[in-house]
Structure formats: C-alpha cells, structure tokens
Structure 1
Amino acid sequence: MKITVYGASSGQVKDIYVETARQLGTIMARRGHALVNGAGRMGLMAASAEACMKAGGQAIGVIPQFMIEQSWQHKGMSQLIVTRDMHERKERMAELSDACVALPGGVGTLEELLEIITWKQLGLYLKPIVVLNVDGCFSPLLEQLQLAVDERFMRPFHAQLWQVAETAEEAVSLCETTPEWDKNLQKFAAL
C-alpha cells in the first residue's frame, strides 16, 4: 500500500507527536507500505518519512515548485514529485494513496484532512481515512464534526467517512482494513 500521511511541518511540537510520527513511519515500512507526504524537511512530515526510510521503506514526497524555491523540501526522500501548486500537490497525494492518515498539525494539516473527508463524502476518494488522535490533539475537531452531525449540517452516516486511531499501530491496521462503509461507497461508485 501507499499511505498518505498528513502532518505538521513545525519543528517545535511536543515530543509525543514526533515519537508517534516516527512510530507510524517505522510500522508502515515494516509492513511493506510506502509513505506519501508533502516532502517537508521539518516537523512530523520529516519525522515520519525519515523513520520509514530508516526502517527500509519508501517515502515519496509531493511538493510544489514554490516550496523548493524556498528550500522547504526534504532532500533525502526516496522519490520527489514536484507540482505546479498546492492544489495539484493535494490531488497528486490523494491519487497516489491507498489510504490517508492525519497526524496532528496546523491549518495546512486540518485543511488537507477536511478536504479529503469532503472528497470522500462526494465519492471522489473512496479509501480509508484515519485520524491519529495523538494525546487528544484532534478531540476538539472530532467534537466539532459530531456537532455538525447533531445540528444536521451533516447526515449521521457521514460520521463513518473517517476512523479514529489512538496509536500508530492502530492507524496502520485501520488503513489495511476496508470498513464496510467504504466497501459500500466503492460499490455505489462503480454503478
């Protein structure tokens, strides 16, 4: 599998986030999965990619040209794909992936996560999406999404568009298992 991993580019986050990103990359490599991310040279993006490669896995980075011009790219990725812009970057990362995992992050990570959930709701991305809720970091967002369901901004079954993991091991396992909801989406999309 190729698993897209969204996560912070900040290098100033708590150790528990960095350690979980490393665990995720290591577990992915040990299970034979390639990691796809935004090719950032710092933060959780770098930690997960470096751990994956250190454990013998492949890390594919997708980054827009303007970020290379700023020297924001990780220069040790197994493969680097350069895009025109952020929109093409996100589209390419989704195209490459068999599943997505969101590590904690800022607005960029949140935007990527919410966009891929929206794509799944629209039938444009029919693969597992896992929110890795490290140290409760995503709990407020998950509560907001539940509020959106409760207030009828979303239908109750839309809460099945994503799954929540508490550990890196659980996140990879959820990526490897297609939930019944996803199977039904895939059948519907094939019609």
Structure 2
Amino acid sequence: MNICVFCSAYSLDDRYSAPAAEFARLLGEGGHTLVWGGSDAGLMGVLADGVKEAGGRLVGISVELLKHKAYDGADELVTTADFAERKAQLLMRADAVVVLVGGLGTLDEVTEVLELKKHALHDKPVVVLDTEGFYAGLRTQLERMDAEGFLPRPLGELITFADTPAQALEQLKA
C-alpha cells in the first residue's frame, strides 16, 4: 500500500517521536511505501529513516520553498511549485492517509483531504493516530459537526481515530 503520512517537520519530544518511529517500522516491515512531504526534518525525518531501515520504499513530495530540507535517500523525490500542488500529488499517489501529530500545515492537509472526501472526490481511508490525545479537540469538533448536520456523510465514513501505531495500520487494512 502507498500510505501518505501528514505530520510535523519539527523535532518533538519522545512521546510524539517514538510512536512515529514505531509506525514507520510497521510500514517498512509490511512492505508499504511511505508517501510524505519529502523532508528530513522533525517527524518527517523520523518516519523516513524508520521506513527505510525496515525495508520500505520512500516517495517524497517536496515543495520548491523547502527543497533544501529534502530527504537524501528517497526512492523517488518530486519537487512541486507550491503547497497546493504538493497536497494534490500526495493524495494522488496514496492509497490511504494517516495523520500524525503536527501543526498548521498538517491541519491544513487533513482538512483538505476530508473536504475532498466529503464531496466524493476520493474514497481513501483517513486515519488519525491520536498520540497522547493530541487530536482530542479536532475529534470533538468533527463529532459536533456530524451531530449538528454539517457533514453530508457520517463522520465514520470520512475519518477514523487510532490510539496506537498498530491500530492505525489495522484500520487502513480494514
């Protein structure tokens, strides 16, 4: 499976980097391909290193502005002109999407993917690995949108949440 992962490009505390490394190991050992933002920084670098060390394939989709942070050693590295083109390439090359902890860029990416899925422009699974309850607020907001009729499809058809890396991968396989 080609699995797109959205996550932080910042170096984070072990409580966030350890689950990212475990998820990367599971991807690589499972023979999956990581499709990610192409960076060697922060959690992106942790993911790429872990997938590569475990025997997986790496497809990086970088952006011109950040090409100086591109991961050296990706099996394939594409540089796009801007973030919009990068998001389109990430989704196009993926069979599924996983969201790890991240900042505004990650939030932008997951909401765009959900908006496209809401309109049936793709039907790829989207799983949030909710490490340390990081996305509890997002989950609460999405549940409220669902309960109050703001979503044309049930929330469970758009996104699922996992507590562990193994659970996230199992949800993708389901």
Q: What's the TM-score once normalised by structure 1's chain length?
A: 0.87
Residue 36 of structure 2 is aligned to residue 37 of structure 1: yes
Offset at residue 174 of structure 1 (A) = 1.1
Distance 2:103 2:164 in 1: 20
**What aligned pairs does 1:91-110 form with structure 2 within 5 A after superposition?**
91-110=88-107
Which residue among 122, 125, 133 is the counterpart of 1:128?
A: 125
| Matched AA of 1:97 | A
In the TM superposition, 1:148-187 aligns within 5 A as 148-155=145-152, 157-177=154-174
* Conserved 8 A contact 2:40-2:48: no
* 4+ aligned runs moved over 6 Å, structure 1: none
Which runs of 5 or more structure 2 residues have no equivalent in the other structure? Answer: none
CA distance in 1, matches of 2:114, 2:124: 10
Matched letter for residue 16 of structure 2:
Y
Alignment match, 2:70: 73
Structure showing greater radius of gyration is 1
Deviation at 1:78, TM superposition (A): 2.2
1:46 partnered with 2:50: no
TM-score normalised by structure 2 residue count: 0.95
Measured after TM superposition, the shift of residue 51 of structure 1 is: 0.1
Could you tell me how far apart the structure 1 residues matched to 2:101 and 2:87 are? 17
Aligned residues, how many? 174
Shift of 1:153: 2.1
Deviations 1:111-155 (A, max 9, x none): 101111111111111111001000100111100111212332224
Residue in structure 2 matched with residue 7 of structure 1 by the alignment: 7
Tell me what 1:59 maps to.
Answer: 58
Question: How many angstroms apart in 1 are the aligned matches of 2:74 and 2:17?
Answer: 18
Does structure 1 conserve the Cα–Cα contact (< 8 Å) formed by 2:130 and 2:162?
A: yes
CA deviation profile, 1:32-57 (whole Å, cap 9, x unmatched): 11000001221111111110001111
* Change in 2 beyond 3 A, CA 1:110/1:158: same
The Cα of 1:62 is off from its aligned counterpart by 0.1
In structure 2, what is the equivalent of residue 18 of structure 1?
17
